[in-house]
Structure 1
Amino acid sequence: MTERLRRRRAPHLFIQTDTGTGPVVILVHGIASTAVTFRKVVPLLAPGHRVIAVDILGHGASPAPPDCEYTLDDHVAALAATIRALNLREPFVLVGHSLGSLIATRYAAEHRWYTPRGLRVARLVLVGPPIYLSPTDIGDPWVRARVTAYLRAYEFLRSNKDFTLANAAVLGRLLPKGILELNENTWTPFVKSLEHCIESQTMVSDIASLHVPVDLIYGALDAFVAPGSLRVVERMRHVNTHRVEANDHIVRSRIARVLVRVIDGAPAATTRTSGGQTPAPAAG
C-alpha cells in the first residue's frame, strides 16, 4: 500500500448498487470501467440475494486519492474498508471481473483466517481474470511467448497515452455508458493499476492459498485470458472453470446467466472441473 495511505484510513468505495434481500453477493468490476459492468447480472440476482456493486478505487464515483499508486494493496484496502462499513453478519459471495478478480482474490486470501463472519468470503467467483505468470516462471516456449506478448501490449498502452485514449474513445461509443471509461480523468488510475496490479501480480499464489470454492468463468472469445496461465489454476482442487462460448471479455447475457447459476449452486452450462474437462453447449 502507498506509504501515505498506510498512515491514514483507506477511503470507502462508492456503492453504485445495493438491492434485494437474502445472501449477500458483492460485485467488483475491472480496470477502466464501473459497476455498470454487472448491469446484466444484478436483475438476475436481486430476487434472491442482496446484491452490492461497488466502483473500485479511482474509477466511477469512487475516490481517486492524488497520492495513490493504485497497487493491489491500495485497491484491497479500500474494498476491505467498504465491506467493514456494511456491517454484514454472514460470509458472502465475492465476484470479481478482470482487475476486480485480482482485487477479490487478494481480499479473500487476506481474510481467510480468524476473520469475523461478516468479513469472510464463502465463495469466490472470478470472471475473465487476466492471469499472467511471470515469463521467467513459464517452461513452455509457446505459453511464455503468449504471456510476454500480453505484457508488452500493456506496456505499449501505458507508454502511448494519445493512442490509447483515442482508441478507448472509439470503443467507448460502441458500448453502454460506464462499461469503458478511459479518459484524461481516469488515465492515472488506469496506468498505475495496469502496471502495479495486472502486470505485476500474485494471482496464482493467492488462489492457491484459499480454502473456499473458487469458480472461474471466461468467454471463449476473451482476448485478455491467457490459456497457458489459466491451465495452472484449473488444476487446483478447489477451482471449477466455466467456459462460455460466443462471449468476449464483457459481462454479456451469456456470462451473466452462467454467473448466476454458479452463485445459486446450479450446474453451469459449460464447465471444466478441476482435473478434467466437460464441454457443453453455450448458455442461452
Structure 2
Amino acid sequence: MSFLAIFPRKWARKSGIAIHAVLSLTVFFFFDLIDSILCVVYEFVDEILEGKSRGCYCTEALHITGENEVSETLFRRRNVFREMGFLGFARKFKLSRKNSQSKIHESANRWSDCGCQSCISWTKKEDGNLHVVVKDSIFQEDSVQEPSENVIFIHGFMGSSHFWTETAFEHIKKDRYRLFAVDLLGFGESPKPRDNLYTLRDHVDTIERSVINPYQIESFHVVAHSMGCLIALALAAKHSTVVKSVTIVAPPYFPSSLEGSVLTRIAGKRLWPPLAFGTAVMSWYEHIGRCVCFIVCKHHKIWEWLIKLCIGKREIPWKIKDITRHTHHSAWHSMHNVICGASKFSDEHLQTLTSASVKIHLIQGDLDNIVPSHCYVDMKSNFPAVEVDIVTGADHESVISVRRQEFAEKLESIWSSCRTGMDAKLGT
C-alpha cells in the first residue's frame, strides 16, 4: 500500500515537471519569433520618429565589446529564429538602411519613453549627479552634535531611494548617523542618459561623484539590497581602507568558478513561478521588454490614475511608482551589465574586502523566491568571514519593508560592533 501511495505521487510530480517543460519550450519559442519580428519593427519606427535607429543587441557585430564591464549576455542570448537565419531578408534590408545619413534627434527621452515633467526633471540638473536623499542630524534644531557615522544605502533593480526612506530610515537613530539614500543611475529621479551602458563602473563612479566627493566622506558604512549588493561590493572594495562595514541583503551571488551561462542561472526560461517568468522575459527579450516599458512606463500617468480610482486614495504606494521610474535602456543595461556582468567581479571584490578585514554581513529571508538560497550558501562557503543571518518567514523584500524595526536594530548592531575595530584601524 505504501508503494502504491508513493508511486502516483512521484508520477504526478514528474508529469508536472514534464508538462511545465513542454509549455515553457512552446511559449518561449513563440517569444523568440515575436522578438525577432519586433527587432525589425522597432528599427523602422525608430528611423521614422527619431531620424535614425541606434540599433539593438541582436547581433554582436554591431557593437564594440572590448570593455570587460560590458556583459556578454547583452549579445549571447539564444534565439531560435535568429540562429536559423529566419527573417534574414528583413535583417539585411534593415542593416542596409543604417548607412542613412539622417541625423539622430538627441532628446532627453526616446519616443517609447515617458516625457512627462517628473520623468525628465533630471535634465534640468547641470552637474548630472544622482538624486540623493540625506537624513542628517546636524540640521536638526534639537541637536548640535555632528554625525559620527556615514551610511550609504543602495536600492535594488527597479527601485529608488524610497525603498530605504520609507522603511529603515524611520527607525534608525539619526543623532548618531548621517544617512544617504541614492537613486541609482537610470532609476527614480536620477539621470537616465540614453548613451550610457550602465556598467558596474558607471554606477560606482556616479555614487562617488554624487555622495562621497561632495559630502567629503572619509569613512562610511554601506547597505544594499538585491542588485545594489553588487554595486555596494564594488564601491566598498574600491574604498576598502575606509569602509567600515558592508551589509548586503539578498545578494545575487554567482561564483565565477561556476560553469554555464550566467543569464541561464539568473533567469532561466520557465513559466512558473510568475516572478521567474517575468524575469526571464525581461532578461532574454530586448524588444518585448521595450514593449512592456512602452505600455507600463511611458503611460504610467494613466496607470496611476486608474490605481487611485480603484483604491480610492490620492496617493499611490511608492512601490508602484518605483516600478515605472526608469527607461527600457537603463533597466536593460543594468540588468545585464550589473546583475549578469558584475558576477565575474564579485569574488575579486569580496577577496579585497576580507583581506582588508572589512566586516561583511549578509541578510536574507528564508522565503526568498527571487534570489535562490544557494547564493548565500556559496558566498559563505567561499568566504567564511562573511556573517550570514537568515530571517525566518521573510521574502525578498519583506525582510526589510515589513520588518523595519527589526532590520534597523540589526543595522545599528552591525555598525556598533565594528566601530571600535575601525577606529583602531584608522588610528583615531
Whole-angstrom distance in 1 between the partners of 2:371 and 2:339: 12
Q: 2:394 aligns with which of 236, 244, 247?
A: 247
Q: 1:19 aligns with which of 136, 141, 146?
A: 136
Partner of 2:214: 85
Change (3 A) 1:167 1:222: farther
Percent of paired sites with the same residue = 23
> Which is richer in strand?
1
Q: TM-score, normalised by structure 2?
A: 0.51
> Which is richer in helix?
2
Change (3 A) 1:31 1:86: same
Whole-angstrom distance in 2 between the partners of 1:49 and 1:110: 22
Which letter does structure 2 place at the counterpart of 1:24?
N
Indicate the structure (1 or 2) with the bigger Cα radius of gyration. 2
Q: 2:198 aligns with which of 42, 67, 70?
A: 70
Shift of 1:219: 1.3
The answer to whether residue 346 in structure 2 is matched with residue 203 in structure 1 is yes
Change (3 A) 1:221 1:167: farther
Q: Deviations over 1:153-186 (max 9, x none)?
A: 545313132457778989xx69831466334852
Change (3 A) 1:262 1:190: same
Whole-angstrom distance in 2 between the partners of 1:179 and 1:36: 11
Which letter does structure 1 place at the counterpart of 2:282?
L
Equivalent position SS for 1:125: strand
Whole-angstrom distance in 2 between the partners of 1:177 and 1:57: 18
Change (3 A) 1:167 1:63: closer
Shift of 1:189: 1.0
Q: TM-score, normalised by structure 1?
A: 0.75
Which letter does structure 1 place at the counterpart of 2:215?
L
Shift of 1:105: 0.5
Shift of 1:264: 2.7
Whole-angstrom distance in 2 between the partners of 1:76 and 1:243: 28
Q: Tell me if the contact between 1:219 and 1:248 (Cα under 8 Å) persists in the aligned partners.
A: yes
Return 230-239 or 94-103, whichever deviates more.
Answer: 230-239
The answer to whether residue 230 in structure 2 is matched with residue 102 in structure 1 is yes
Q: 1:61 aligns with which of 162, 165, 189?
A: 189
Partner of 1:138: 258
Alignment of 1:249-264 (within 5 A): 249-250=396-397, 251-254=400-403, 257-264=406-413
Shift of 1:99: 1.4
Which letter does structure 2 place at the counterpart of 1:207?
L
Partner of 2:89: none
Shift of 1:218: 1.1
Change (3 A) 1:14 1:147: closer
Unaligned residue ranges in structure 2 (runs of 5+): 1-66, 71-126, 138-146, 270-278, 418-428
Q: 1:215 aligns with which of 346, 351, 361?
A: 361
Change (3 A) 1:183 1:221: same
CA RMSD, Structure 1 to Structure 2 (Å): 3.4
Change (3 A) 1:234 1:37: same
Q: Tell me if the contact between 2:134 and 2:178 (Cα under 8 Å) persists in the aligned partners.
A: no
The answer to whether residue 282 in structure 2 is matched with residue 157 in structure 1 is yes
Partner of 2:247: 125
Alignment of 1:160-171 (within 5 A): 160-161=288-289, 162=291
Unaligned residue ranges in structure 1 (runs of 5+): 4-9, 114-119, 269-284
Which letter does structure 2 place at the counterpart of 1:263?
E
Shift of 1:138: 3.0
Partner of 1:277: none
Equivalent position SS for 1:209: helix
Q: Tell me if the contact between 1:157 and 1:164 (Cα under 8 Å) persists in the aligned partners.
A: no
Equivalent position SS for 1:237: coil
